[in-house]
Chain A
Amino acid sequence: MFHIAKKKAERLENNVVTDYTSPLWQNNKVKSSLEPFCSSHCEKIELQNGFMMGASTRGKKHRHEARNNDDWFELDTIGQWCLIAVSDGAGSKLFSRIGAKESCRSAIRFMKRSLEEVLSQFENLQQRLEKEQTDSEFISACSLLANIVQKAMKEGFRGVKNAYEARRGKTEYEKEAGREIKISDFDCTLLIGILIPVVVNGNDEHIAVFSQIGDGLILSISDKEEFDQAVRILGYADGGRFSGETLFLSEKEVALSEGLMKRTRVSRRKISHIMVMTDGVSDDYIGEYGEILRLYMDLYFNGVLKHNDDEKLKNNTMPASLSVEPTPSDCSKSVFELQYSKRIQKLEGLDISALWQNKNKIIKTNKLKYEDKLLFNKKSEDALLLWLRHYVERGSFDDRTLVIFANQK
């Protein structure tokens, strides 16, 4: 016989908890001296009609525990074609950051080399990609690209394997591990893809060919579309019953071509943005359809993604919330202000589709009222890094990596 608790427990508002924990989080330099990685970095590549940028930063947990950033990303281009790779090293694995880095580098190297070969062999590839979607030449061109991405995934794993074999048997690694090192010490996820601008019947569109093993998220956004058409998920995230359960790049996952085919998605549509991210970001925006659009809105409302329209508006009151940056114990704490679409939604009594509909008005008002406090005056890639580093969400302390392609045509 048993008795359950008479009543459900009360809960605190999330911001009450994060306000309390904020001063408890420490910001410590990495303790391990074996292949320390940069705590955070960002990069931007300008394109003819837009740009691609990425940023990666240690999460609160690794800053607190003096551990490395286990995420990595790589960007490259062939002309106006974009190549993207993002990886998240397994948190419990000693050298996963090395796996993350080498998987990205190997995948990008392979995609670039393969595409250069293909472009020199098939001069009309661009034209084939601009045909009708039912045209056999379009289909075969897409298959070619998908095949390259799938092989790049295998190369990504080869990169991990090579990294392990280059370090196996070395004393300093065995000392760090307290045993012989294993390939699983380099476990990581991998999200990779190719993005190609095309012109279809006079309209500017993009072909996106992406694949992923593990968690994280790949999506495309069309910011001029209505709420229910604005976002497409371009990857399949592996997960289990519980948080933190996922698959990693491994011999088994890359061995079967059929498995890789199922993981690869090809899309052609008019887009404004592509975003590829580790779960340190995507987990904070999971929810019913459209919830992920809050990510886009948070980036815009804070001035990370720049809005060019200077039309003036009436002076509405919009809230700003504070985030205290944990700093090394020998420095004073600094205060950094950020805007949260979730708070605007709550305070203005808007549902998410109404928030989306009014986003341009909100962006302009934010710029008008809070330009100096938010990130409008920073370079895009610096703003992205600052935003990733500073936004606060309860229970969100994983490393954060986000790559964004922005179409400005």
Chain B
Amino acid sequence: MDEYGRRLPVYLVLDCSGSMSGEPIEAVKQGVRALLSELRSDPQALETAFLSVITFASTAQQVIPLTELMLFQEPEIEACGVTALGSALELLNYCIGSEVRHSTPTQKGDWKPLVFLLTDGVPTDEWLASAKQLKASRPANIIACAAGSNADTKILKQITDSVIMMNTISSGDMARFFEWVSGSIRKSSRLAEPGKSGALELPPPPEGFVIIP
């Protein structure tokens, strides 16, 4: 195997708009902390999982590039501004394109990336074109989580078929979400057949969460 080995790229795309300020954003930070702690006890995750954090508010920013678990440090995130989901999707597409390695006859590529998108509201920028591009090209397994009833699941369904909804943005629900993210990452290196568009095998969503059909 070459120097880089085979990685499981994981992107956390986190809504940091003004509506997330206070308890929600603190719960997100706590959730990321708990996620790291869980994954760092798992030898498979330690050897393969590389995490990146993309936040979006009035603009989108990759606050942490794809980084291996042992070196990953919790991001500094604050909530302020509007909801530039379109920019976030464009940035996600760019990051996946530049950071993820595909398999070739002389290079073993990464595992198919996992993306966990968390948002509590509706986008305030142009998002449709980026969403369509992601859904058509399928560069990753994307799971979108609508945090609370103000998030529009119909919009999220245009990005990915895998959408869940958290009924409230309480710290308890957020903690359960990140625990589920951890379980999903651990379960994710399953064989997937190329060209098949079947649903990603994930653990059942946490109690109180709804799978959007």
Q: Which residues of A pack against B, CB within 8 Å?
A: 1-5, 7-12, 14, 17-18, 20-21, 24-25, 60-61, 64, 90-92, 238-248, 283-289, 291, 393-397
**Contact indicator B61/A3 (Cβ below 8 Å):** yes
How far is it, in angstroms, between the C-alpha of A246 and the C-alpha of B95 when the chains are bound?
A: 25
Question: CA of A247 to CA of B87 in the docked complex: distance in angstroms?
Answer: 36
Contact with A along B95-137 (1 / 0, CB 8 A): 1001000110011111110000000000000000000000000
**Residues of B near any A CB (own CB < 8 A):** 1-7, 41-44, 46-48, 50, 52, 59-68, 70-71, 84, 87-88, 90-91, 94-95, 98, 102-103, 106-112, 189-195, 201
What residue of chain B has the Cβ atom nearest to residue A88's Cβ? Answer: B191
Q: Is the CB of A2 within 8 A of B88?
A: yes
- Majority SS at the chain A contact face: loop
Establish whether residues A25 and B103, one from each chain, have CB atoms under 8 Å apart when the complex forms: no
Whether B68 lies near A243 (C-beta < 8 A) is: no
Given contacts A245-B191, A395-B48, contact A283 B1 (CB under 8 A): yes
Can you list 5 A-B pairs with a CB-CB distance of less than 8 A? A2-B62, A9-B50, A9-B65, A20-B46, A92-B190
Q: How far is the CB of A287 from chain B (nearest CB, A)?
A: 6
Q: Are B71 and A3 in contact (CB under 8 A)?
A: no
Can you add 7 more A-B contacts, CB < 8 Å, to A241-B102, A243-B110, A245-B194?
A: A17-B46, A17-B47, A21-B46, A91-B189, A240-B193, A244-B189, A395-B1
CA distance A4 to B98 in the complex (A): 11
Chain B residues near A245 (CB, 8 Å)?
Answer: 103, 112, 191-194
- Could you tell me the distance between the alpha carbons of A288 and B107 in the complex, rounded to whole angstroms? 8
B208: shortest Cβ distance to chain A, in Å?
23
Tell me if B47 and A243 are in contact (CB < 8 A): no
Residue of A3, A64, A248, A289 contacting most chain B CB atoms (<10 Å): A3
- Known contacts A239-B103, A245-B112; decide if A1 and B59 are in contact (CB<8 Å): yes
Q: Are B68 and A1 in contact (CB under 8 A)?
A: no
Residue of chain B at shortest CB distance from A239: B103
- The residue that A25 contacts in the complex, of B43, B70, B87, B108, with Cβ under 8 A, is B43
How distant is the Cα of A338 from the Cα of B10 in the complex, in angstroms?
33
* Contact A64 B43, CB 8 Å, known A2-B61, A3-B62, A4-B62: yes
Given the known interface contacts A5-B64, A396-B1, A397-B44, the answer about A240 and B70 at a Cβ–Cβ threshold of 8 Å is: no
Closest to B87 in A: A2
**Which of A17, A24, A393 is in CB contact (< 8 Å) with B41?**
A24
Contact B60 A1 (CB under 8 A): yes
Q: Name B194's contact: one of A20, A60, A240 (CB within 8 Å).
A: A240
CB-defined contacts of B189 to chain A, threshold 8 Å = 91, 244
Q: How far is the CB of B16 from chain A (nearest CB, A)?
A: 13
B residues in contact with A91, CB < 8 Å: 189-191
CB nearest to A240 among chain B residues: B194
Give the residue among A5, A24, A247, A248 with the most B Cβ atoms within 10 A.
Answer: A5
7 closest A-B pairs (Cβ-Cβ)?
A: A240-B194, A2-B91, A5-B65, A9-B67, A92-B190, A21-B43, A24-B43
CB–CB A242/B91 < 8 A:
no
Of the residues A8, A64, A240, contact of B44 by C-beta under 8 Å: A64
A residues less than 8 Å from B194 (CB atoms): 238-241, 245-247
> B71, B94, B106: which contacts A10 (Cβ < 8 A)?
B71
Closest A residue, CB atoms, query B188: A244
- A243 to B189 alpha-carbon distance, docked (Å): 9
* B185 to A: closest C-beta gap in Å: 14
**Contacting residues, chain B, for A9 (C-beta < 8 A):** 50, 64-68, 71
- Residues on A with C-beta less than 8 A from B94 are 2, 4
Instruction: Check if B5 sits within 8 Å of A243, measured CB to CB.
Output: no
Write the chain B residue with the least CB distance to A9: B67
Residue of A nearest to B103 (CB): A239
CB distance from B23 to the nearest CB of A (A): 27
Which among A91, A242, A393 has the highest number of chain B CB atoms within 10 Å? Answer: A242
Chain A residue numbers with a CB within 8 Å of B110 are 242-243
Asked if A286 contacts B107 (CB within 8 A), the reply is yes
Partner of B1, one of A92, A246, A393: A393
* Chain B residues within an 8 Å CB radius of A10: 67, 71
A286 adjacent to B193 (CB under 8 Å): no
Q: How far is the CB of A322 from chain B (nearest CB, A)?
A: 17
Q: Chain B's nearest CB lies how many Å from the CB of A69?
A: 16
Contacts of B64 in A (CB 8 A): 5, 9
Cα(A25)–Cα(B192), bound, Å: 25
Which residue of chain B has its CB nearest to the CB of A342?
B1
- CB-based contact A18/B87 at 8 Å: no
Contacts of A90 in B (CB 8 A): 191
With beta carbons under 8 angstroms apart, the residue of A3, A92, A287, A395 that contacts B59 is A3
Name B56's closest neighbour in chain A (CB-CB). Answer: A2
Q: Which of B42, B47, B84 contacts A1 (CB 8 A)?
A: B84
Between A239, A243, A289, the greatest number of chain B beta carbons within 10 A of the residue's beta carbon is seen for A243
Q: Which residues of the partner chain B approach A395 to less than 8 Å between Cβ atoms?
A: 1, 5-7, 47-48
Residues of A within 8 Å of B95, CB to CB, are 4
In this complex, what residue of B is CB-closest to A393?
B1
Complexed CA–CA distance, A1 and B98 (Å)? 17
| A1-B87, A25-B43, A284-B1 known; A12+B71 contact, CB < 8 A | yes
CA distance A394 to B61 in the complex (A): 30
Chain A's nearest CB lies how many Å from the CB of B104? 9
List A contacts of B191 (CB < 8 A).
90-92, 244-246
How many angstroms from the CA of A240 to the CA of B102 in the assembled complex?
Answer: 9
